[in-house]
């Protein structure tokens, strides 16, 4: 479900229900999902009295400043969570740990400095645009992330977001980036589209031209599109003294291609349960076979004893 589509949907939600005092959220069902719209109701925290089965929640333009590890624990079915246009500065570790089905998270236009590292594994889209203080951003736990927007975050360089083998679209436009290197992109081995500031590498000095050459070499060889971006490549990078060695970046790139996700608590629990079930089945089968063998042995012995008695009778 596209975020822009949901913005239109939540504006038309019907069926009023009291959520907290005189502030009322609306409920509706879209695309077979039930959701709640609490847009611009001056909430300072996520209400606890919403339907526990909602799958999308729109909390845009409220006054939320902190997400604790209990803020969302009531709503474990959430798949789409929109928290843009708040004042969120802090998100505690574990704030999203109960949301093991979360696919889309919008935290645009807040005051975030960092994110917790334990993001849900199913997360596919993450919107963080316009967080001017955002610096620390480790996202490797979100192994399935395929879209990341960190535009307008006053970034001087691309943060060390970690290895994201499934990321396809990265938006770092409208940032005062000083450089983008192959080392920044190597952990994003399936990147298809990279949105950069058009002014990046606009100068014509040798160092800038070399950086441009390395970036274009990397993105061209891996078919990464650079919309609305252009810089002048060097015809003879060796003559300009450019470092063309990308061996370390290629090593990281290859590691990314074979990376696998870390096991989550849910998956570990399922594996344990499956193992226990298999063990129980094996024990039952062995017990049944042992009982059957014992029963057959008893029956064979009885037949043998009977035959022996008959033989003795005939002899006498």
User: Is residue 253 scored above 80 in pLDDT?
Assistant: yes
Given a contact cutoff of 8 angstroms between Cβ atoms, the answer to whether 33 and 25 are in contact is: no
Q: Which pLDDT tens digit goes with each residue over 201-244?
A: 988 788 888 999 999 999 999 999 999 998 887 778 777 778 88
Instruction: Give the chain's length.
Output: 316
Q: Is the pLDDT of residue 13 over 70?
A: no
pLDDT at residue 82 greater than cutoff 60: yes
- 314 or 138: whose pLDDT is higher? 138
Count of domains observed in the chain: 1
- Whether 280 is in a domain gets the answer yes
- The answer to whether residue 296 sits within a structural domain is yes
In tens, the pLDDT along 24-42 reads 999 999 989 999 999 999 9
Average pLDDT over residues 264-293: 61
- For the stretch 163-191, pLDDT in tens is 999 999 999 999 999 999 999 999 999 99
Q: State the pLDDT at residue 293.
A: 62
- For residue 58, which of 123, 127, 124, 150 has the smallest C-alpha distance? 127
Contact yes or no for 129/171 (Cβ under 8 A): yes
- pLDDT bin (cut points 50, 70, 90) of residue 292 is low
Higher pLDDT, 312 or 129: 129
Determine, yes or no, domain membership for 243.
no
Q: Which domain holds residue 290?
A: 263-316
Q: pTM, whole model, 2 decimals?
A: 0.79
Average pLDDT over residues 1-9: 56
Note whether residue 101 is domain-resident.
Answer: no
Q: What pLDDT does 116 receive?
A: 96
pLDDT of residue 203: 82
273 within domain boundaries: yes
Answer whether residue 304 is part of any domain. yes
Question: Which pLDDT band holds residue 6 (cuts at 50, 70, 90)?
Answer: low
pLDDT of residue 17: 40
- Classify residue 83: in a domain, yes or no: no
| Structural domain contains residue 282 | yes
């Amino acid at each position: 479900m596209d975020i822009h589509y949901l913005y239109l949907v939540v504006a038309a939600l019907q069926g009023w229900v009291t959520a907290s005092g005189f502030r009322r959220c609306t409920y509706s069902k879209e695309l077979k999902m039930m959701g709640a719209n609490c847009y611009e109701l001056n909430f300072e925290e996520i209400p606890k009295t919403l339907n526990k089965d909602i799958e999308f929640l729109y909390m845009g333009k409220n006054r939320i400043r902190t997400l604790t590890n209990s803020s969302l624990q009531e709503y474990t079915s959430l798949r789409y969570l929109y928290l843009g246009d708040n004042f969120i500065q802090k998100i505690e570790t574990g704030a999203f740990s109960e949301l093991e089905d979360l696919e889309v998270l919008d935290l645009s236009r807040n005051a975030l400095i960092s994110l917790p590292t334990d993001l849900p594994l199913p997360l596919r889209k993450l919107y963080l645009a316009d967080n001017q203080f955002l610096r620390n951003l480790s996202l490797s736990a979100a192994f399935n992330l395929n879209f990341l927007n960190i535009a307008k975050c006053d970034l001087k360089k691309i943060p060390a977001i970690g290895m994201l083998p499934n990321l396809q679209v990265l938006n770092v436009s409208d940032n005062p980036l000083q450089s983008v290197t192959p080392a920044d992109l190597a952990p994003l081995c399936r990147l298809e589209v990279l949105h950069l500031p058009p002014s990046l590498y606009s100068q014509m000095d040798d160092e800038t031209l070399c950086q441009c050459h390395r970036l274009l070499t990397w993105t061209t060889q891996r078919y990464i599109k650079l919309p609305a971006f252009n810089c002048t490549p060097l015809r003879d990078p060796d003559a300009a003294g450019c470092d063309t060695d990308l061996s370390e970046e290629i090593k990281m790139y290859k590691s990314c291609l074979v990376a696998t996700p870390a096991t989550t608590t849910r998956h570990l629990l399922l594996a344990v349960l499956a193992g226990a079930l298999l063990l129980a089945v094996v024990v039952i089968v062995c017990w049944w076979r042992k009982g059957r063998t014992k029963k057959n042995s008893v029956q064979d012995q009885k037949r043998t004893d009977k035959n022996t008695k008959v033989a003795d009778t005939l002899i006498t």
